[in-house]
Amino acid sequence: MTRFVLVISFLLLFSQSIVFAEKTTIDFNVQENEVVFSFLPIENGESAIIHLPNNRVFLINAGTTKNEKEINQFLQQFQIKQVDGIILTAMIDARMLQRLQTKYDIKQLILLTPLAIDMNKFFPVQTSLVKGEKLELAEGIALDVKYDGNGVNFTISLHNNELFWIENINHQIETEHLSQELNNISIIKLPIWSKEYFVSEKFIHHLDPQTAIIGNNGESKKNEDLLEVFYETWVDVYYTKQNGLISIKFDKDNYEVLTFPKKEFISP
């Protein structure tokens, strides 16, 4: 199915679907059958926010303790006072997790990786997922774990689109994914530009995405071989180190990519 992708720069975002209460405050006005997926440009690790209708919010990871101030600033500037759940694909400092739970009254802990410490007393609901298991976050929005070795790769259905969150990829993992039905992927998220991550043209053709999001690991060099694969397969590429905050707003059929300079959100 052909999807229409609308790319809008920060300076052109004065539309009816997005409201700026202040210079650095954003309200996506998420309506029924809409969802917004925001990739946060934090300095260490990776994190994202899933914005659902009725002010429901899920946080994916939170980086390290060095990112705690950044995470709080992003949540505050999205006017988020409560987080429904946090999805962990990587270890997190227990004290930081407890502070986030207390500050944002997080009810659900969704573990895609084991934690070294028991957090039962802090979270009323805990869910653990392994490869092959799915979890519905809302109607039409579901997680599906595709790989849970060293790092977690999962898809998240966003109505009629799918996003493939990839934390680890090499020849062996790629071969495993090539045997899976991944034929409705619109967007892939890759961890870094490093050449140690193997992504072949065959793999990209198998997924057939329109958009790729590249996370930030603090490196300034780009993997030119990876870029060439994307260019040859007509994939639009964004990465958080250059584009800053990347938010993707989905309706039932289409999506639009919105970018916001990090300096508009994070104070020194």
pLDDT of residue 200: 85
More confident residue, 200 or 61: 61
pLDDT > 70? residue 223: no
Strands (E) in 139-221, as ranges, are 141-147, 153-158, 161-165, 185-190, 211-214
- The pLDDT confidence band at residue 268, using thresholds 50, 70 and 90, is low
pLDDT of residue 3: 46
pLDDT > 80? residue 163: yes
pLDDT > 50? residue 2: no
Domains of the chain, with CATH numbers?
5-264 (3.60.15.10)
Each residue's pLDDT tens digit, 172-184: 999 999 999 998 8
CA 78 to chain centre: 15
pTM of full prediction above 0.85: yes
| Mean pLDDT (whole number) for 204-231 | 79
pLDDT of residue 235: 93
Each residue's pLDDT tens digit, 133-160: 999 999 989 999 999 988 899 999 998 8
**Alpha carbon distance 67, 233 (integer Å):** 34
